[in-house]
Amino acid sequence: MRKFFTILKIFAALGLTACGNTKVDVSPLPQFRYYVESKFTGQIENNLIVEGDGIDQLTFKLSGHGFTAEVPLDVEAPVRPKTRLQYVEAGDYAVIVQFFKSDGTPLLRDSLKWSFSLESPDNPIAGFANSATNDSHVVLLISASRDPQTNEIWVEGDLSSEESPSGSWRAIPSTSNLPLHLTEADGMKTLKIKLRNDFKNETEVKTLQILKKSHGPTNCKFQVKGTGTVNRMYELVVSAENDGPLFYRVFGDVSEPYGFQPFKGPSARVTVKLSPGVGVKNLTVQIKDAAENYCLREDFKVNSNPAFVGEGIFIKNNKTWTDVDQITVQPWIDHFADDTIEMYIHGDVVADSTTFRWIPWSPEVLVTLQPADGNRWVRVQFRVNGQLSSFRYTPVYLKPQVIIRPGIDSPYRLVASSFINLENLTITGCTETYNQVAFAASYRCTPNASSATITYLLKDGSSVSKSANFPP
């Protein structure tokens, strides 16, 4: 029990000499001191304590209101080492004590105060910053809004041996943060706490739990939907395996800082908003568990551009022309592995089992072009989890050739194939010169060879040469 002392400093005129910080010499008596046993108490009695050799040579008199004593009040009596003071009402009390020498000469007069209350503190508001930890050393956070006279806490439970697992009272630090050392083994830790004020009145017991977990999630990964986005909103999938909550965050070139967000395993689709501006955005994704065990930190890039295209269709091997009517097309769309993707291929193609109907997405499909020569368009529309996308298309030129027709102002007229992606063309076999010229409906030709050859230079840098013999 805390003891509060009154320190006596008696001047030489009274024959007393100060000695040390807690006691005085009473000449010719040995040192003595006096105090009330508890300045704050929740008991209906307190004790006046007088200590020191030779105190039986002194007498004292007690006075005050609202309490009784083992000795009559306002009556001089021999000094007792312990004198019980009793009361029934909560409040503040003061006992006036006077000491006398053996010859009846007054020695000193003092007032000693204490307070009595039966009121218990508010029940504890305390807990841990997180529901789990990977370290056995943790910090218990105690509300700083408690009563100023509530400064002790009882802690018992799954504590290490040096922390008194059976329980002990501890002073609450001025920071209201109490370091604790849990048992080392992984698992749920249970603690019981209660508070006590200066009157030694206690709160109810509160049970706290925190998970000790030293192993992190496994199989942590993420999946992007594609390489870019048109509207700054970007979707990805995070996944991990864990016996508890999971959290992710994406940071870097985002519109605002994203803290860790919970997600339910094993996987979840999440959306982030990229920072303003067109260009490549540098992002980082992290995954952890509630105990701060990290299992993934990986960088990736996203192209944010209103012109970005996340779906389309190509001709296999990037062919721009063909001499046969069957070609392989390659439909593509940015999507996640668990998306349901369907496609509808149509256009200048023959209807069969893979065209003009919804079919499951496939990276390659064989189609038959309509037999008419010229530019053929193959079109596709996607359906992602039941939601329609826009139309995409690609051209291919079927059976490019050189057509020789009779001329009016020249022996012949040459008709070239009208490639959509034509850059220019060159004609040989004619007296007229056509070197890297633009496409025209026809070209005059006076033969200087047995055949005419047209070489088409396409915009992708490739070229196609086709020939036809002049009539005999």
Question: Considering the domain boundaries, does residue 4 fall inside one?
Answer: no
Structural domain of 105: 12-116
Question: Considering the domain boundaries, does residue 1 fall inside one?
Answer: no
Counting every residue written for the chain, the total comes to 472
HSE at residue 111, side-chain half, CA atoms within 13 A, is 6
Under-50 pLDDT residues of the chain: 1-29
Question: Considering the domain boundaries, does residue 6 fall inside one?
Answer: no
pLDDT score for 455: 97
pLDDT score for 166: 96
Q: Report d(CA 297, CA 306) in Å as an integer.
A: 29
Question: Considering the domain boundaries, does residue 184 fall inside one?
Answer: yes
Amino acid occupying residue 286: Q
Same domain, residue pair 41 and 110: yes
- pLDDT tens for residues 120-156? 999 999 999 999 999 999 999 999 999 999 999 999 9
Same domain, residue pair 366 and 424: no
Domain boundary among 212, 228, 259: 212
Question: Considering the domain boundaries, does residue 176 fall inside one?
Answer: yes
Q: Report d(CA 349, CA 376) in Å as an integer.
A: 8
For residues 319-330, one letter each, b for 16 or more C-beta atoms within 10 angstroms of the residue's C-beta and e for the rest, the string is ebbbeebebebb
Q: Report d(CA 469, CA 450) in Å as an integer.
A: 6
pLDDT score for 13: 30
Q: Cβ of 454: how many Cβ atoms within 10 Å?
A: 24
pTM for the full predicted model:
0.69
Q: Report d(CA 435, CA 415) in Å as an integer.
A: 16
Q: Cβ of 103: how many Cβ atoms within 10 Å?
A: 5
Greatest CA separation for the chain: 161
Amino acid occupying residue 196: R
**Which residues lie closer than 8 Å to 320 by C-beta, 6 or more apart?**
395, 396, 397, 419, 421, 458, 460, 462, 464
Same domain, residue pair 202 and 223: no
Domain boundary among 188, 212, 236: 212
Question: Considering the domain boundaries, does residue 156 fall inside one?
Answer: yes
Same domain, residue pair 320 and 412: no
Same domain, residue pair 47 and 95: yes
pLDDT score for 19: 31
> Closest by alpha carbon to 369, among 403, 402, 399?
399
pLDDT score for 16: 36
What CATH number is attached to the domain comprising 136? 2.60.40.10
156 phi/psi in degrees, rounded to 5: -145, 160
- pLDDT tens for residues 292-324? 999 999 999 999 999 999 999 999 998 889 999
Report the number of secondary-structure helices (H) and strands (E) in the chain.
Answer: 0, 42
Same domain, residue pair 186 and 256: no
CA distances from 64 to 83, 94, 105 (A): 14, 6, 22
Same domain, residue pair 109 and 21: yes
121 preceded by a cis bond (ω within 30 of 0): no
Amino acid occupying residue 1: M
Q: Report d(CA 312, CA 405) in Å as an integer.
A: 39
> Closest by alpha carbon to 372, among 348, 405, 391?
348
Domain boundary among 304, 336, 367: 304
Q: What is the CA radius of gyration of the chain?
A: 48
For the residues of 275-293, what is the DSSP string, one character each? PSSSEEEEEEEEEEETT--
State how many domains the chain has.
5
Same domain, residue pair 21 and 57: yes
Encoded tokens for 140: 């218990």
pLDDT score for 191: 98
Encoded tokens for 198: 């200066």
Q: Report d(CA 24, CA 34) in Å as an integer.
A: 11
